[in-house]
A = this chain, B = another copy of it.
Amino acid sequence: LRQRYRATIEYDGTQYYGFQRQRSAPTIQESIEQALASLAGEPVRITGAGRTDTGVHALGQVISFDLHWPARHGVAALQRALNANLPEDIVVLQLTEAPDGFHPRFDARQRTYHYLICNTPVRRPLCRKRCWHVSRPLDVDLMNQAAALLVGTHDFGTFGRPPKGENTIRQVYQAFWWRNGDRLRFEITANAFLYRMVRSLVGSLKMVGAGGWTVEQFRDAFEAGQRAHSATAAPACGLYLVSVNYEL
C-alpha cells in the first residue's frame, strides 16, 4: 500500500533543462524520480505544481508522489534519506503525508514568483546565474506604475501562451517591485500563470524602467493581447518559483 506525499522543493535550476522530464536532457523531475526510485526499489513518478523553464530556480516548488515507506521509519527519516540521494542543487525542504486525492497543480490556488535584477553599472560575478544584470539605471517608480495595471482579472495574452485548452485570462493578486540598494525584486502572485508570463512581464516592465517605453506604451502592449506586443522576455536565471498556495 502506497502513501501519497507532498514535498516542498528548493533547487538551483542552472544545470537543468527545466522541471519537466525530457527524453535526453537532465531535468529536475528526473533527478527527483531517480532519488525516489533508489529508495523505493521501483520507478516512482512525481507531479509538480509548476513547470519551470530551463535555468529557472525554485524556493518552494511543490510536488507529490506515492511511495511505500514503512510507517515506523517516519516521514523525517524519509526526508533525510531522500535528501541524501539528491544532487547538491536540489533539496526537499518539507515533506508531509497528503490525502490520496492531492494534486499539486490542480489543487493550487495561488502561485508566487520572484524575479531578481542586479542594477549596477558593472556586472557582478557573485550574483550571476541568480539574477539579471541590467546596467542601465531603472526607475522603479515607473515600473510600479506599470505593474499596478496588472493587478486584477485580465487577459494576459501579450505576455504568455496558455496550456492547451485554456484561455489567457488570469487573476493577479499582487505585482510589485522592491528596491534594496542596487538590487530589485519583483513579486507577483496570481491564481495561475501562462507559459513565459513572468519573464515577458519583467522584460516589458524593464523597458518602462529603462525609459524605452512609457507607462502608456506598456498599457497599450498589455491591452493588445498579442504575444508580438511583448518586449523580449527577461532571462531565466533571475526567476524563482517561491511558493504555491493551496488554501485561500
Q: Spell out A's residues near B (CB within 8 Å).
A: 10-12, 57, 59, 79, 83, 88-93, 122-126, 128, 130
Known: A88-B125, A90-B125. 16 other contacts (CB 8 A): A10-B125, A10-B126, A11-B126, A12-B125, A12-B126, A12-B128, A59-B126, A79-B122, A83-B122, A88-B128, A91-B122, A91-B123, A91-B124, A91-B125, A92-B122, A126-B130
Complex: A91 Cα to B121 Cα, angstroms: 12
Complex: A92 Cα to B121 Cα, angstroms: 11
Complex: A123 Cα to B89 Cα, angstroms: 10
- B88 adjacent to A124 (CB under 8 Å): no
CB distance from A127 to the nearest CB of B (A): 9
Q: CB-CB < 8 A to A123: which residues of B? A: 83, 88, 91
- A89 adjacent to B10 (CB under 8 Å): no
Q: CB-CB < 8 A to A83: which residues of B? A: 122-123
- A10 adjacent to B88 (CB under 8 Å): no
